[in-house]
Chains A and B, each alone.
Chain A
Amino acid sequence: MSLFKSSEEKQDAGSLISKEERNMLENEEPFDCASLGPESDYQEINHYDFHVVYSASYKVPVLYFRAYHCDGQPLLLSEIEKGLPGLSVKLLSESKWTFITQEEHPYLNRPWYKLHPCGTCEWMKLLFSTHKSLTTNGSTIEHYLISWFSVVGQVFGLKIPLEMLNCS
């Protein structure tokens, strides 16, 4: 059962840094991230970009992401895993449904990471099996993406604001 229109959907959920922190960085003098002295209380901030791209093969949305240091150097997968909530690392290593692979972004021609989609259909079915009212088409589509994101977002500690759940 496909709940999507056939066109791909791409959303940039934005970087995890708040605006204030970014402004603070920009106003500072340029410095070399690799040579921080002990007197500096600067904390390293990593940037994450998230894209949601529809996979025509698996007929589900896929979460693509990339992470990089403030100087633009990409993070290694091991460094990314260090930044994930504790439960996620355990989940990623144990679950057959969630694992990270490195793959080229389908449109940007650059290496990104993605949460592999082959299990998505299965666990989405489980999620919806408790959903009694899949009423009009419109609300079903919105619920699908939100439901999907409520699961995959947890890997990164991303939470959905309550306002998004008020869709009538």
Chain B
Amino acid sequence: MTDAQKNVWAGAIPLQIELHEFDVTTSPPPPPVLVLAPRMGYLPLLISIIKPHFSSTLPPGEDTIWFEYKGLPLKWYIPTGVLFDLLCVEPKRPWNLTVNFRRYPKNILLPCESEDTVKWSFINSLKEAAYIITGNCKNVMNMSQTDQAELWQSVLKSNLDAFQRVSSKLKLGTFEDEFVVHIDSNTKKLQQSSGETDVAAQMKIARIPVRLYVWTVSEDFDDFEDAPPTPIDSWDKVSYINRPVEVHKEEGKYFSLRDAIESLLPEFFGERNLSDERDPSTKQSAEEGGENPFDPVSLCSQLKNAEIKFVRIQGIEPKLEIPFSWVARNLINPEHFLHTCVCLKVIQA
């Protein structure tokens, strides 16, 4: 367990939660409740802490919890830390949210009946990650009931030790052991590959589960405190890209976080061909391509001029030159997805 992993698991967002006025039946309205929400957790799981504060003022009837930030209903299956990194650009602490117990926006949000709904969403994501990494979901589907329960409890309590005890049985980390990044040819291998020949290991393609949340700005800004960009007021302004990063492990090739993100956004950064990614002439010929609309090469010439303004993962804005393997090993969520918020500056050509 690395220090980075420990810090990430200990991460939490201070929330100041106010009850929506439509749910208030007493006067004066109840004060907001302050909650420290784990980054790795999900908002509906906070119901046991939040509801007691407001239960005396809620109208009679059935309660279905949902949250909103500045009028935007929050997608409950996105981890709390990711929601904060994406929506609270400045970032402001505490994060002011509104909680509702009625008027569930079922045309916008998937239903969330109970803790079980959140748990199954988590397990489904874990299955998807397992499929991406190993090519099948057998390890997750064959988990014993006890293991599954322990895994979920470790997520609920942000207990990294308990989590690693169970998740190590799933063997979803093997690609990390085999994937070696050579900074220069003189450095020794950082970790030994497990049992494969050198040739086979070198040709390995690792697939890493990533969920990208991309939003674009058209003007420049330097400081969020002074002139924050327009906040995200609709989910239509965020492009959600659920696509694994494919890393072609090759001797001497350095694969950075920037490379990984650009590979997921070919509409902005062109189709990646890793064997000649360092060859400037290939990229140039793609950009100068003809206007034939059916020619994939000419599509690149219509690329918008895009620049990565910043990238936020687990509340950190890493330098884009950082090795992607480090990010993939240390900053993933418990369901093995790397949730990455990307702000792109795009100037229409």
Contacts and interface: CB of A to CB of B under 8 A. Distances in A.
Interface of A: 6, 56-58, 74, 101-104, 106, 109-111, 118
A58 B131 contact: yes
B235 A109 contact: yes
Interface of B: 75, 106-111, 124, 127-128, 131-132, 137, 209, 235-236, 240, 242-244, 266
A104 B106 CA distance: 11
Given A102-B110, A104-B110, A57 B209 contact: yes
12 contacts: A6-B266, A56-B243, A57-B131, A57-B132, A57-B242, A58-B128, A102-B110, A104-B75, A104-B110, A110-B107, A111-B111, A118-B127
A111 B73 CA distance: 13
Given A101-B124, A104-B75, A110 B131 contact: no
A162 B131 CA distance: 35
Contacts of B109: 111
Contacts of A118: 127-128, 131, 137
Given A58-B128, A111-B109, A106 B243 contact: no
A123 to B, nearest CB: 14
B108 A110 contact: yes
A106 B127 contact: no
Given A56-B243, A57-B244, 15 more contacts: A56-B242, A57-B128, A57-B132, A58-B128, A74-B106, A74-B107, A101-B124, A102-B110, A102-B111, A104-B75, A106-B242, A109-B108, A110-B108, A111-B111, A118-B137
A152 to B, nearest CB: 19
8 nearest A-B residue pairs (beta carbon)? A56-B243, A109-B235, A111-B110, A57-B128, A57-B132, A118-B137, A102-B110, A104-B110
A102 B137 CA distance: 19
A98 to B, nearest CB: 15
B244 A56 contact: yes
Most buried by B among A57, A102, A106: A57
Contacts of A109: 108, 235-236
Contacts of A101: 124
B138 to A, nearest CB: 10
A105 to B, nearest CB: 10
A109 B105 CA distance: 12
Contacts of B111: 102, 111
Contacts of B108: 109-111
A92 to B, nearest CB: 17
A57 B211 CA distance: 11
Nearest to A55: B242
A118 B242 CA distance: 15
Given A57-B132, A109-B235, A118-B137, A103 B110 contact: yes
A39 B201 CA distance: 75
Contacts of A103: 110
A110 to B, nearest CB: 7
A24 to B, nearest CB: 27
B297 to A, nearest CB: 14
Contacts of A58: 128, 131
Most buried by A among B108, B131, B235, B266: B131
B153 to A, nearest CB: 24
